[in-house]
Amino acid sequence: MLQLFSILVINEPGVLIRIASLFSRRNFNIHSLAVGTTHNPLISRITIILFADENRADQIISQIKKSPVVLAVERLDPHNSVTRGIALFKIHATDSNRDSILNIAYAFHANVLDLRPDSIILEFTGSIDKISAAQNALQHFGIIELIQSGQIALNRDEPLSFNQNPPFVHKNLL
């Protein structure tokens, strides 16, 4: 089952590897990972998506909470969260199929980033399912290249709460 984790951490060097290693040590394969600062520059949010059953997801949450760099963690309900990722597709395009490709792009609300005589680069944003559907729709034209970002997610309800005064963040002053 797909599991979404939202983790608020102290924004300092090495935090991402510390959190990611908690997953790898327990033999989880991370499907998607995104990290960025929040409205508070001292705090970052890590969004991790992986496949695991409920039991294992609960175990990983209890392990994550033990890390001193973690301020808060929650498992998001995919049906009660907003998720977004971005994907760039470079599609093989000819005079005969260009209009069909652009119609698919329009249907998915994609942005056309580059038009060349033999290719089109499209930008898709949305959930994992939307990007996957776009990939399926464009597959038969010939995908030359594809790159996807990690998904970011927010709970639709209450924000993730934590102590608003994070512990002192040690900075190397040398």
Reported confidence tier of residue 165, pLDDT bands at 50, 70, 90:
low
Determine the structural domain holding residue 28 and report its residue range: 2-76
Distance between CA atoms of residues 33 and 3, nearest Å: 12
Q: Is residue 170 part of a domain?
A: no
pLDDT tens across 74-129, in order? 999 888 899 999 999 999 999 999 999 999 999 999 999 999 999 999 999 999 89
Q: Is residue 132 part of a domain?
A: yes
Instruction: State whether 63 and 104 are in the same domain.
Output: no
pLDDT tens across 36-51, in order? 999 999 999 999 999 8
Instruction: Take residue 171 and report the two structure tokens written for it.
Output: 């900075």
pLDDT tens across 119-132, in order? 999 999 999 899 99
Q: Is the pLDDT of residue 171 over 80?
A: no
Q: Residue 61: CB partners within 8 Å, gap ≥ 6?
A: 5, 73, 74, 75
Q: Indicate the number of domains in the chain.
A: 2
pLDDT of residue 174: 37
- Rounded to an integer, the average pLDDT of 60-72 is 91
DSSP string for residues in 101-154: HHHHHHHTTPEEEEE-SSEEEEEEEE-HHHHHHHHHHHGGG-EEEEEEPPPEEE
